[in-house]
Amino acid sequence: MNATESKTIKIIIADDHPLFRRGLKHALEETNDIEVIGESSNGDDLIGLIKNLKPCIILLDIAMPGKSGLDLLKQLKNDHPKLPVLILSVYPEEQYAVRFLKAGASGYLTKESAAEKLAEAIRKIAGGGKYASTEIIEKLAFDFSNSEKPPHETLSDREYQVFGMIAIGKSLTEIGTELSLSVKTISTHRTRILEKMKMKKNAELIHYAITRSLL
């Protein structure tokens, strides 16, 4: 292996949209130190690819079919604790970045970010760093007590996921189907969410999400 090859950052793109993967791969081909060695459209395939290809970094979409993004990230960090994961999401940083970074992700970028920013994030993470906005990094640096947290940050990961789906207007049945959980379980989550956020109905959750720019 020559010096150039040894410095190549080998990555796997995990995203269920073929056109997005193709665009991402094309953008990264413009670099001379980042190589896409595999692509996956779901979590199960990704687990197998990692074992076979041994990448340097995973680029992970948080909304693929099957296991939720947070659950998949936790599994990856459990199975491969030293493998960095960069989250690529359509959701704004304010909505999910802190949760994913706390769960073990090395960085968080929205899908609308420029290719140059993506390459910068990959290089920083490959060097052992973290990548997110200054605001998010500062938020992670302080351990706020529950009394200082906004209500939505007191929710568990699963509750927050259900909250986000209620906020965009999905029914309990739709949420249950998407998360492979019973309607009864989703209803229990909804009850806890309303209690923790001191609210009584879905309309209040939706209004809260809109005013906090969580959608």
How confident is the model at residue 59, as a pLDDT? 96
Determine the pLDDT at residue 135. 78
The per-residue pLDDT for 157 is: 86
pLDDT at 11 over 80: yes
pLDDT at 2 over 60: no
In angstroms, the CA 141 to CA 129 distance is 14
What is residue 96's predicted lDDT score, i.e. its pLDDT?
83
Q: Is the dihedral of CA 36, 40, 46, 48 positive or negative?
A: negative
Residues 170 and 95 in one domain: no
Residues 82 and 15 in one domain: yes
If you write DSSP's letter for every residue of 15-32 in order, what string do you get?
A: -S-HHHHHHHHHHHTTSS
Each residue's pLDDT tens digit, 22-61: 999 999 988 999 999 999 999 889 999 999 999 999 999 9
Query: Among the three residues 107, 141, 175, which one is the final residue of a domain in this structure?
Result: 141
Q: What is the pLDDT of residue 1?
A: 40
Instruction: Kindly report, residue by residue over 79-110, the tens digit of the pLDDT.
Output: 999 999 999 988 878 778 888 998 899 999 98
Question: How high is the pLDDT of residue 26?
Answer: 92
Contact 89, 63 (CB under 8 A): yes
Total domain count, the chain: 2
Domain boundary among 81, 108, 141: 141
Predicted pLDDT of residue 150: 80
Query: Do 15 and 51 fall into the same domain?
Result: yes
13 and 107 fall within a common domain = yes
Size (the chain), residues: 215
Per-residue pLDDT for 9 more than 90?
A: yes
Contacts of 201 (CB under 8 A, 6+ apart): 194
The pLDDT of residue 146 is above 50: no
CB of 92 closer than 8 Å to CB of 64: no
How many Å apart are CA 181 and CA 176, to the nearest integer? 5
CATH code where residue 45 lies: 3.40.50.2300
pLDDT tens, position by position, 155-209? 888 899 899 999 999 999 999 998 889 999 999 999 999 999 999 999 999 999 8
Residues 131 and 158 in one domain: no
Distances (CA, A) of 187 to 12, 31, 157, 215: 36, 48, 16, 21
Structural contact between residues 179 and 68, judged by C-beta atoms closer than 8 angstroms: yes
Nearest to 114 by CA among 16, 32, 39, 27: 27
Of 182, 187, 184, 185, the residue nearest 202 (C-alpha):
187
Domain hosting residue 92, numbered range? 3-141
